[in-house]
Amino acid sequence: MVESERLLYLRLKQPNLRLGKFKQLHECMVRRETNAINIGQRIILSKSFTGGPRYMFNNCKDAFAIYCLTIEFQKRGLPHAHLLLFMHLESKPRTVDDIDKVIKTEIPDRRKNPKLYAAVEKYMIHGPCGHLNSKSQCMINGKYSKFFPKAFRDRTIIDEAGFPRYQRRDDGRTVSKKNVEVDNSVIVPYNASLLLKFGCHINVEYTCQTSTIKYLFKYLHKGNDRVTAAFYQNNRSQVDEILNYYDCRYISACEAAWRLFGYPI
């Protein structure tokens, strides 16, 4: 209802909004226009509207200049953040030993560190899936979509593509998850200090790949979840950006509350 009121305001203020000239190249990208015939009257959804295509595109450009955080909303479960951090040169991991100090993928010793053991058991276990649980959400057509379980490895290495393969020793340690005993092969990479401080699922990864940066940035410009449905199609020449945004817009309960309270996205 709140979003509908904001969209109505923008629709009624079109004479003011249309004083601006949208000649930049990125406007064509936002409009997804490939045909010059799409001209004439246009209903503009301005960049000041939170969540709109211009809002997202401008945030995407800003994101390339800083590290950034994006909130992803899902139809199931709670919202979660994707965060990219550029570490100071003095703190940046430079060797595999440095990576092992920051990122762990093994079950800690239960006697020496019971709190960390309990946190890993509660928050950082993938699955179980595969033959242990064929109905797991990560199983698609009988295959592992999240690439678990991982192979055991005595030491961390960097593969030919530049991705780390973390140390996962077959040390015999196990934890119980959904009445199933699992080992280091299904531990999600974590940082011990962050896990103990925040007490929630925090997947920590090491990367120097541009593909990973692009993966994060896509959340800024991929747009919102939408229902794919079509009842009819007319031949009107008017491009209505507000209607394109509003039609079949899907908003989960979590996202609605998040937006109403004005939390950053």
Distance set, CA 80 to CA 35, 156, 194, 255, 256 (Å): 38, 28, 15, 11, 14
Q: Does 141 map to a domain? A: yes
Pair 98, 195 in one domain = yes
Q: Are residues 64 and 143 in the same domain?
A: no
Average pLDDT for residues 10-28, to the nearest whole number?
A: 62
Longest dimension (CA), the chain: 72
Domain annotation covers residue 233 = yes
**Residue 265 located in a structural domain:** no
Indicate if 104 and 137 belong to the same structural domain. Answer: yes
**Same structural domain, 103 and 157:** yes
Residue 85 counted as domain residue: no
Do 228 and 200 lie in a common domain? no
Mean pLDDT of 24-35: 55
Which of 160, 179, 205 terminates a domain? The answer is: 205
Two tokens at 77?
């479960």
- The verdict on residue 130 lying in a domain is yes
Indicate if 175 and 122 belong to the same structural domain. Answer: yes
Task: Locate the DSSP E strands across 80-236.
Answer: 80-83, 139-140, 143-144, 157-158, 164-165, 175-177, 180-182
* 79 located within any domain: no
Q: What is the pLDDT, as a whole number, of residue 126?
A: 85
Point out the domain boundary residue: 205, 225, 245: 205
The count of other CB atoms within 10 Å of the CB of residue 49 is: 19
Specify whether 65 is located in the same domain as 163: no
Q: Is residue 52 located within the same domain as residue 110?
A: no
Same domain (yes/no): 107, 201: yes
Q: Could you tell me if 190 and 100 lie in one domain?
A: yes
Tell me what pLDDT residue 246 has.
73
Give yes or no for residue 198 having a pLDDT over 90.
yes
134 and 201, same domain (yes or no): yes
Contact predicate 153/96, CB 8 Å: no
Inside any domain, residue 80: no
Q: Are residues 190 and 203 in contact, defined by beta-carbon separation less than 8 angstroms?
A: yes
Average pLDDT value for the chain? 77
Q: Which one, of 67, 78, 104, lies nearest residue 184 by Cα?
A: 104
Total structural domains within the chain: 2
Residues 132 and 199 in one domain: yes
Q: Domain range holding 196?
A: 94-205
Q: Convert the pLDDT of each residue in 187-197 to its tens digit.
A: 999 999 999 99
Tens of pLDDT along 111-152? 999 999 999 999 999 877 666 666 666 666 666 656 778 889
Within a domain: residue 86? Answer: no
Which of 162, 180, 205 is the last residue in one of the domains?
A: 205
